[in-house]
Chains A and B, each alone.
Chain A
C-alpha cells in the first residue's frame, strides 16, 4: 500500500497534528516544566477555551481563532487567581508539588461540572468558512481545519520562546525555574514571576481550546483524553524546553499519522508512547531537558 504521495500526505498530516499538539501542550510545558507545578487540570482550561469560542461563534458568528485571542487576557487573569490559590494552599507551606495534583484534579472536575451545568452534555462544534475545505499542493492535500491550528501552534511556540529569551519577565521566568532563591537575591519576587508565568500558560489554553473545537466536536469531559498526551509531549521534549515541546509534539504527530496510514490507526498511540519510553530510556531528561 506504500506510495510516495500517501507518505507525503501522512507526513504533512503529522506535522499539522504536531503543531496543534504543541499549542495544547505549551501551557503544561510552562507550568510543569518551568514552574514545577503539576497542573493536571490544564486540558480543562483548553476545553473552557473551546466553549468560549463556541459561545461567540454561536451567538455572533465570530471566528474561533479571534475568540481564542480575545479571551486570552481573561484566561491569563484566571491563571493568576488559580496560581495564587495554589501558592497560598500548597507551595507557601512547602508542600510537595505532587500534593498540588489533588488541587488541580479537583479544579478539573469543578470546571467540568460547571460546563455541564451551563452547556449540557451535547457535543459542540463551530462553524467557520474554512472547516471542511482543503488546498492541494501537488499530491498533498492540506485541510484548513488542521492547517490553521498548526500555524497558530507554531506561532505561539515562537512567540513564547521569544518572550522567554528576550524580555525581562521571560528571562525571570527561566531564572525562577533554575534557582528561585538566586532570583530573590536579585530583588525579584519569584512568586510574582511564577504567577505571571502560570497565567501565561493558562492564556495559551484559550487559543488552544479555540483550535481544538475547529478540529473536533467538544463536550465537557473530552479534556481528560488529552491529559496523557500533553504530559507525554512535555516530558518527551524535556521539561522546561519550549522548543523541545514543539519538537516532541511534531514527533508524536508524525508518528501517529504515519502509523495510522500504514500500519493501522489502532497502533498509533502505542507507537507514540513507545517512542516516549525509548527516548526516556536513552535520555531520562527528555530530548532537550537538562
Chain B
C-alpha cells in the first residue's frame, strides 16, 4: 500500500503539469494580435487622423465582438506622429523593436507613409497604406498595399477628373495654372496634373509651389491672375486650401475651373465655415452622399461611426477618410483569417491574389499595391447656402461629375456661374 503513494504522487504531479501546459497553451493561443501604427492625432492632418483612428477602433471592436482573428483578440499600439514625418521612423522602430507588434499599418497621408517605407522594406513587412499618393511608385515594394482608390497611376488619377472635365468644355480651355504646397502629396498631385495638361494640349502658364507655412496667399493668386489661365489646379493642404479660396475671391481670380486637389474641403469644420464660398470649386473625392455612389457598406459603417464621432469630438460627417480606414483593416483581417497566420509573405501574396469585400465595396489590388482600377471622382460644390452642417448630408451639394459611371449632375461652368 505504501508503495502506491509515489505512483499516485507522480500521477497527480503529471496531471497538474499537464493542466499547466494546457493553460499555457490556451493562453498562448489567446495572446492578442497586436497591430501598430503612427497616426496624425495632432498637427495639420489630425482632423482626418483622429477620424481614421476612430474608424480603425470600430473595426477592432467589431472583430473582437465576433471572436477576434484566429480566435485571438486584436489590440492596437499607436502613437501620435504629430503630422510630422520626422517622428515616423522613431515610431515604427519602437513599435517593432520595443513594443514587438505583430503587424504594422501606416498612419494617414502620403507625407507620413513615405518615412515609414524604408523601415518596413528593410524588414520585409507587410504594409497597409492609408491614403498615400504614389508612395510606392519608385520603391515597387511588393508587400505594400494602399487603400485609397487611386489606381495604377496614382499621381495621374488624382487630377484626371479635373482635366478630363476641362477638356470636355466647349471651347476647350487652352491654359492652366498649377500651384501647390511644397510637400510630398501635392508634389505628386502636380506631377499628375502636368501629365494631363500635356496629354490634353493645355498649356501650363504658371507652375509653382509655396511653403506650407505661407500666411498670405494673395501675392500667389495675383501672380496666377497675371498669367490669365483658363483653369487653375490647386494641390493643397487645409491651410493652403482655405488661403487660396479666400485670396481668389478677394483678388477676383475667376478662372473657368478652380480647385482639383484641395485637401481639407472634406473636413466638416472647413465645410461649414467656408459654406457658400465653396460653390463652384471642383475637387477630388472618394465617396460623397450622392445617389450614384450609394453604398450599403459605407452607409452601415457611417451609422456606427457618426454617433461615435460626435461623442469623440472628431469629424462628425466622416465621408472622406473613415470608411477607407475601416476597409483597410478589413482587408488585413480577411487576409489573416484566410492565411491562418501572421506570416508577412503569405499575407502579402494573399492580398495580391484575392479580391476583398469591404465597406467601400470590392477591393482588388494591382502589382504595385494600388487599386487595380481607380475610383477617384471629381465633384463640384454646388448650391451651398449658409453654414449648416446638415446640408452636407444631402445629395446635390457635392455633385459627382466624373467618371460617368458615378456622375450625379452637371458641371456648372464657368466657375463664376456657380458662385452666383
Residue B407 at the chain A interface, CB threshold 8 Å: no
Cβ contact within 8 Å between A261 and B222: yes
Q: Within B230-261, which residues are at the interface with A (CB < 8 Å)?
A: 238-239, 242-243, 246-247, 249-252
Cβ contact within 8 Å between A265 and B211: yes
9 tightest A-B contacts by CB? A121-B46, A265-B210, A122-B269, A125-B273, A143-B250, A260-B219, A134-B250, A225-B213, A261-B219
Residue B332 at the chain A interface, CB threshold 8 Å: no
Nearest Cβ in chain A — how far from B5, in angstroms?
66
Cβ contact within 8 Å between A265 and B246: no
Interface 1/0 per residue, A121-164 and B, CB below 8 Å: 11111110001111000000101011000000000000000000
Cβ contact within 8 Å between A124 and B213: no
Cβ contact within 8 Å between A264 and B313: no
Contact residues in A for B334 (Cβ distance below 8 Å)? none
Instruction: Give which listed residue, B50, B213, B247, B267, contacts A123 with CB less than 8 A.
Output: B267
Contact residues in B for A126 (Cβ distance below 8 Å)? 273
- Chain A residue with Cβ nearest B82: A221
Instruction: Name the segment of B37-45, B291-299, B320-328 touching the other chain.
Output: B37-45
Nearest Cβ in chain B — how far from A207, in angstroms?
17
Q: Report which A residues bind B (CB closer than 8 A).
A: 1, 3, 6, 9-10, 13-14, 16-17, 20, 112, 116, 120-127, 131-134, 141, 143, 145-146, 215-217, 219-222, 225, 229, 256-258, 260-262, 264-266, 268-269
Cβ contact within 8 Å between A121 and B41: yes
Cβ contact within 8 Å between B268 and A122: yes
Interface 1/0 per residue, B22-63 and A, CB below 8 Å: 000000000000000000011110110110000000000000
Contact residues in A for B385 (Cβ distance below 8 Å)? none
Contact residues in A for B121 (Cβ distance below 8 Å)? none
Residue B188 at the chain A interface, CB threshold 8 Å: no
Nearest Cβ in chain A — how far from B58, in angstroms?
18
Nearest Cβ in chain B — how far from A148, in angstroms?
13
Cβ contact within 8 Å between B314 and A120: yes
Known: A123-B238, A257-B216. A262 touches B223 (CB 8 A): yes
Residue B208 at the chain A interface, CB threshold 8 Å: yes
Residue B220 at the chain A interface, CB threshold 8 Å: yes
Contact residues in A for B220 (Cβ distance below 8 Å)? 260-261, 265
- Chain B residue with Cβ nearest A258: B219
